[in-house]
Amino acid sequence: MARPRKVRIDEKTLAQIEEWAAMGLNHQQMMALLGLVDEQWADYRRKFREIDRAIARGRSRGLVSSSTALLKRVNAGTVDAIKWYETTRYGMGERMIHDVNVEMMDAETMRAKIAEMLSTLIPDDVSVAKKDTKPTEPAEDPDNPDWDSTSDAS
């Protein structure tokens, strides 16, 4: 078995680690590219905190890059990108997305369509009062407009 090599941790190495992290490489893959074994990688990470910071920067940079590209496709109206965005960002599973029809409309038309959809959800004959309950008497409160001081509460 070959002896593990020593790696010099300098700005160039940290920049390479950051780039690999931006590409989505995991620790095992970075370790292999550097020619390190598990124990060495752990030692380097303990001695050089900059490694973990470079990995965090790289992962963030990669996420920003991919999110920006995805958002451009979403804004362009690419249906697959919209499905992916909604599935991953808003927790909507594939089973929730049946058909995506994008229709451009002005605000007034959208309000009218939403009002129409909502009106079908609640039937007109629904009463909010419970059955078999007596209406409660208003509290004796002169500031309450429902309280009538001339009525007999008893």
pLDDT digits (tens, 9 = 90+) for 57-111: 999 999 999 889 988 998 898 888 888 888 877 666 555 555 556 667 788 888 8
- Exposure letters 15-45 (e unless 16+ CB within 10 A, then b): eebbebbbeebeeeebbeebebeeebbeebb
Query: Rounded distance, CA 146 to CA 136, Å?
Result: 11
**Four-residue CA torsion sign, 112, 113, 114, 120:** positive
Mean pLDDT score of the chain: 79
List phi, psi (to 5°) of 22: -65, -30
Res. 137: pLDDT tops 80: no
**Where is average pLDDT lowest: 25-34, 88-97, 102-111, 131-140?**
131-140
Res. 143: pLDDT tops 70: no
Q: Spell out the domain ranges in the chain.
A: 11-121
Burial class (CB in 10 A: 0-12, 13-18, 19+), 135: exposed
pLDDT at 127: 55
Q: How does residue 116 score in pLDDT terms, banded at 50, 70 and 90?
A: confident
pLDDT at 125: 60
